[in-house]
Amino acid sequence: MSRAEIRLSGFGGQGIIKTGYIIGEAVAIHDGKNATFTQSYGPESRGGACAAQVVISDEPISYPHVIDPTILVVMSQGAYNKYVPGFRKDGLLIIDEDLAETDEAADGLRILSIPATRLAEELGRKVVANVVMLGFLIAVTELASVEAMKEAVLSSVPKGTEELNLKAFERGYEYGQQVTKRRNSAEDE
């Protein structure tokens, strides 16, 4: 990997910023790569638009901001409407299929979807949808090692929620492995 640029997007209260932070920690501290993390959000603390950007590289990063993301994660329709029309056509779009619908703006994109919020609800807490999405992202991209991600999740979540968050990560990761396996089988046919 020379340089990977990831934009995570959704609305305030979904843990989008925390997800970017966890990726950065996993990559930089536990996997020994270089990473930068930036964030942006609207004036509202909950419900407003927000995004986290992570740059990952094996080489030193001279410019810390995302210039042209290769991966776009969307967890709300507003984020889809804002970021997908300008997203590169050879990029990977990952959406929470229950929170964002695709339209002609996504034509030609590589799209993977997961019902992250629904899976989180099945685990008993909708609030861990971001960690479900994180597990999925790592399974389909291998941006960081699973061990590094689990360590970063454990060190970043509130005390007393570690077990739930690990289950959420593992559920998303398993879902991503299933999607990858189906995709590889379809390509082999």
Structural tokens at position 178: 């299933």
Looking at residue 49, its pLDDT comes to: 78
Looking at residue 84, its pLDDT comes to: 96
Looking at residue 83, its pLDDT comes to: 94
Looking at residue 13, its pLDDT comes to: 86
Q: What is the pLDDT of residues 2-57, one digit of tens each?
A: 889 999 999 888 999 999 999 999 999 999 999 999 998 766 556 677 999 999 99
84-112: average pLDDT? 95
- From the list 104, 83, 101, the residue with the least C-alpha distance to 92 is 83
**3-188 sits in which CATH class?**
alpha beta
**Mean of all residue pLDDT scores within the chain:** 93
Looking at residue 118, its pLDDT comes to: 97
- Domain boundaries in the chain? 3-188
Residue 100 CA: distances (Å) to CA of 41, 45, 69, 94: 19, 21, 19, 10
Looking at residue 1, its pLDDT comes to: 57
